[in-house]
Amino acid sequence: MNQTLSESKELLFNKAKDFCEDKGVRFTPLRAKVYQILLQEDASIGAYDILDKLKLIEDSAKPPTVYRALDFFLELGLVHKVESTNTFKACHHFGCSHPVQFLICDTCGDVKEISSEGVKETLERQALQSNFKIMTQTIEAHGICNQCQGTGIS
């Protein structure tokens, strides 16, 4: 099947499929296609970019096609939304509950997901000072990734 995916991503694809089946929700062919498109990206990707790619293999695809699939995955935690760019990214370690933070390179577009308990807890502690009870966190850093910083020393 997923010949366009690297081996590690194919593993993730199968893990996602199993995850859905375990939960009793359906990993349909359409959802599979959307998920595969998401997996192909190291950057995060916009809904309409997904749509363009999807249309190549699924002529009937329309905006709601993509958004419904995205909603499905977002709900399950298999995909995250990057709020500051209105884009989406497959999560590489779903299943386990974990905090989410993104490092977004404004030079190459790459989006790295990190998962720091410390960051999450620091914000929680801070919120507690206002007696604010946090349900969800959106934490996104924009900047320059390792690759895009020259490695020269002087």
Partner DNA sequence: TGGTATTATTTTAAAATATACCAACACGCA
Partner DNA sequence: TGCGTGTTGGTATATTTTAAAATAATACCA
For a second copy, the binding residue among 136, 152, 153, 154 (CB under 8 A) is 136
Nearer to a second copy, 75 or 83 (CB): 83
Q: Which of 35, 114, 150, 154 binds a second copy (CB under 8 A)?
A: 114
For 21, the token pair is 């089946």
> Binding of DNA at residue 93 (CB under 7 A)?
no
Q: Answer with the entry of a second copy, DNA, none that 105 interacts with (C-beta below 5 to 8 A by kind).
A: a second copy
Q: CB-based contacts of 91: which residues, under 8 Å, 6+ apart?
A: 77, 78, 79, 80, 100, 113
End-to-end CA distance of the chain: 49
Task: Report the alpha-carbon distance of residue 95 to residue 133 in Å, rounded.
Answer: 24
| Contact positions with a second copy (CB under 8 A) in 47-86 | 83-84
Identity of the residue, 60 or 125, whose beta carbon is nearer to a second copy in the bound complex: 125
Q: Is 86 exposed, middle or buried (0-12, 13-18, 19+ CB in 10 A)?
A: exposed
Q: Applying CB under 8 A, which residues contact a second copy? A: 83-84, 101, 103, 105-106, 112, 114, 116, 118-119, 122-123, 126-127, 130-146, 149
